[in-house]
Amino acid sequence: MATYKTVRDMLTQVAEKYSDRPAFLQKRIKGGPYEAITYRQFMSDVSALGAKLRDLGLTGGKIAVIGGNCYQWTVAYQAVINGVGIVVPIDRQLKKAEIFNLLDRAGCMAVFYTEGFEEIFADSGIRFKFRMSQYTEAAKLPPDDTWAGLVDAGHKLPLERLIDYVNVEIDPEAPAVLMFTSGTTSIPKGVSLCHRNIAANVRDIDGVMRLGCEDRNLSILPNHHCFESILGTMYMLSKGASIAYGEGLKYILKNLAESGSTTLLAVPLLVESILRRVLRNVEKAGQTGILQRRLRLNKLFRTVGFDFSKQLFRFARKELGGLRMIFTGAAPIDPQICADFEKLGIRVLQGYGLTEATALVSGTPIDLPPDQRSVGKPIGKTTIRIDHPDSQGIGEVMFKGPNVMLGYYNMPDETAEIIEDGWLHTGDLGHLDQHGCLYITGRKKNVIVAKSGKNIYPEELEVIFGRNRYIDEIMIYGEEDGHNGPVVCAQIRPDYETIAADFGELDEGKVSELLQSNIDVINQQLQNYKRVRKFILRKEEFVKTTTKKLKRAANV
């Protein structure tokens, strides 16, 4: 893989090599066909926008980007970090007060936003506000107030202004991205990342995913999050691959087929949802028996070194188009889900990372036999160690490498607490096996300590109980029970659709009885101190972050 110290170096090298290849697939109108945007056009738009932003006096400033995933979002992001200032990606699901709080804390001079945020920014004190569009540009707005107007004006600037932008010196160690954490357990912190962090992480990701210029990723996870912006965008661009922007979660299967995407980045809940839809469609078509017979046949073929998954299961995976690989992270996934996709000939890779480490810390390499329980080995030249391991080898995961953040913005004390002699305290618990593979058991703050002193990891139990067909979502937590110490409790969102299909419409009492009987069966397979003693039902979805992590405090 080519060497580079900055994101701009990477993009320049790739654009020269793949100038006429598609970098992006974007729709002009929702529901319309995909249209390709080449690397040459992409780099031209980045330079034009960057030059115009400098022309407006925004050099060195912090510029926010918020809204739905689209080509304009990515061009704005890249234009800022590659010669203007510091980009501040903002979660589009935040409320107005939260958005303004982050903009104020960062000291943003300008903001790019997509449709739906007009009223929010109408009364903001930010001087420069630029409207983007996921599909067609709004004609009613003055051109100077739109992304398209800025890019057009940038293309018309004198050549020397464009050259000045392209040739501006970029310090690999200077802050380039200010990315706020989701704040699942505390107030959001601004993670400061530099070009060196991003370039190193992008290079090291290649040791896991091994993609090429013929690959295409369907972008569905929010662009403001490091998982999508680094793995789903930066890494794809580094390989000369392309990115197709999805129209929303309900259109995933449709967009996969339309775009011809070969890869998908998805959180575990989404991966499970896709598998359920595929299997339900097989069942509706009356092909469940065929699927089971072919699964047994392919298992036999594999024992003698052959794998005919693609040929045998074409009927089952037709809605997935050319999908060959799913990369999942951000939360634990049931190993059985990974195994089921593997049987259909679609490889599922797991990654472990966090914003403070730019994106990825470890991953399961595609060229190694799958182990769905592990999140793989440390990427690149990075190092993982387990701090204060217990008798089972479980302790806090600590990480050291070139992708460890510069620090928390304007929070020196908090930075000193999390980075110790270059080692990053992740707050996650796990252990390493004899081969150096990492296994995550849960969050340090979520551990339930039984009266016997034994540790109970909610995330582990959520995977086990979550396999039950009548449980849609579950959250495990500890609750004090007098002199008995904390006991394991659960909030459960039943899968009412499946329950109705199997038993008809049941009232809440009957649903509770059904779940209790199923929980009793699962409990018998667990050690006594891990068993769920109490549970309550909930109809509404759990409160989650944008990447579908449970906000435990908000739900309890």
Burial class (CB in 10 A: 0-12, 13-18, 19+), 548: middle
Quick count: other Cβ atoms within 10 Å of Cβ 418? 18
Rounded Cα distance between 50 and 54, Å, is 6
CA separation for the pair 176, 195 (Å, rounded): 6
Helices 252-259 and 268-284, packing angle to 10 deg? 90
CA distance 493 to 516: 13
Tokens of 162: 């464009």
Q: What are φ and ψ of residue 73, in 5° steps?
A: -60, -50
Q: Please state the φ and ψ torsions of residue 166, each to the nearest 5 degrees.
A: -65, -30
Cα(489)–Cα(476) distance, rounded to whole angstroms? 6
Q: Among the CATH numbers 1.10.357.10, 3.30.300.30, 2.60.40.1930, 3.30.428.10, which is that of 447-555?
A: 3.30.300.30
pLDDT at 147: 92
CB 117 within 8 A of CB 67: yes
Longest dimension (CA), the chain: 77
Using DSSP's 3-state secondary structure scheme, residue 109 falls into: strand
Long-range pairs for 311-318 at CB < 8 Å and ≥24 separation?
A: 312/345, 313/343, 313/344, 313/345, 315/282, 315/287, 315/290, 316/278, 316/282, 316/287, 316/291, 316/344, 317/278, 317/344, 317/345, 317/346
* Phi, psi dihedrals of residue 377, rounded to the nearest 5°: -105, 160
| Cα–Cα distance, 397 to 197 (Å, whole number) | 20
- Give the closest residue to 71 by CA, choosing from 215, 193, 233: 233
CA dist., res. 102 & res. 12, Å (int): 32
The pLDDT value recorded for residue 390 is 86
The pTM is what? 0.83
Cβ atoms 408, 190 nearer than 8 A: yes
Digitized pLDDT (tens) for each residue of the chain, 556 residues in all? 567 899 999 999 999 999 999 999 999 888 899 999 999 999 999 999 999 999 999 999 999 999 999 999 999 999 999 999 999 999 998 888 889 999 999 999 999 999 888 888 887 888 899 999 888 654 455 666 899 999 999 999 999 999 999 999 999 999 999 999 864 445 789 999 999 999 999 999 988 888 999 999 999 999 998 889 999 999 999 999 999 999 988 888 889 889 989 999 988 888 888 777 666 665 655 555 555 655 554 454 455 444 544 544 554 556 677 888 889 887 777 777 787 777 777 888 888 899 999 999 998 876 665 556 788 889 988 899 999 988 888 899 999 999 999 999 999 999 999 999 999 999 889 899 888 889 888 778 877 877 666 778 888 888 888 888 899 889 888 888 766 678 888 899 999 888 998 888 888 889 899 999 999 999 888 888 888 888 889 888 888 776 667 777 777 7
How is residue 2 written in tokens? 């080519």
Instruction: Say if CB 531 and CB 488 are below 8 A apart.
Output: yes
Domain boundaries, the chain: 447-555
- Only one residue has tokens 């995977």, namely 463
Per-residue model confidence (pLDDT) at position 284: 57
Cα–Cα distance for residue pair 131/111, rounded to 1 Å:
9
Residue 215: the pLDDT is 95
Given this model, what pLDDT does residue 556 score?
A: 74
> Using CB atoms within 10 A of its CB, is residue 246 exposed (0-12), middle (13-18) or buried (19+)?
buried
End-to-end Cα separation, the chain, in angstroms: 47
Tokens 């000193």 locate to 416
CA atoms of 503 and 498, how far apart (whole Å): 9
- Range 432-469 burial, b when 16+ CB lie within 10 A, else e: beeeebbbbbbbeebbbebeeeeebbbbebbbbbbebe
For residue 241 the two structure tokens come to: 């691959």
Phi, psi of 146 (to 5 degrees): -125, 155
Residue with tokens 């109970």: 456
Instruction: Give, for 266, the enclosing helix (H) or strand (E).
Output: strand 263-266
